[in-house]
Amino acid sequence: MAAYVIVEASITDEAGYEKYKPLAAASIASHGGRYKARGGATEPLEGDAAVGRVVVLEFPDRERAREWYNSDEYKAARRVRQTAASSRIFIVDGYEPG
């Protein structure tokens, strides 16, 4: 079952975040992930609006998402992101009717 990584990032250093983006993209692709949403406009329908940038990543399953997040490749990218933004990141399982 597909798994989605949801990222909410409040960017504090635009130049630093620009350095993070290609590092993250390479690590995501190498672990079978792909972007479903990448910082597009958000529109709140209920509750508070998301703070900052929202990214949605799709992975084949939860295990691949965890492997990506804990990989050495992403750890290097994560260090760059953590100096340029504060983030909230979580995994949610996809839905398969059945």
Q: What gap in Å lies between CA 55 and CA 85, rounded to an integer?
A: 13
pTM over 0.85: yes
Asked if 58 and 7 touch (Cβ cutoff 8 Å), the reply is no
| pLDDT tops 90 at residue 98 | no
Q: Which amino acid is at 70?
A: N
Select from 3.40.50.1220, 2.30.29.30, 3.30.70.100, 3.40.50.300 the CATH code of 3-41+53-93: 3.30.70.100
Specify the pLDDT at position 49: 84
What number is the average pLDDT over the span 19-36? Answer: 97
Q: What gap in Å lies between CA 4 and CA 36, rounded to an integer?
A: 9
| pLDDT tops 90 at residue 4 | yes
Specify the pLDDT at position 62: 97
Specify the pLDDT at position 48: 87
Specify the pLDDT at position 69: 98
Q: Please report, for the chain, the start and end positions of each structural domain, with discontinuous segments joined by +.
A: 3-41+53-93
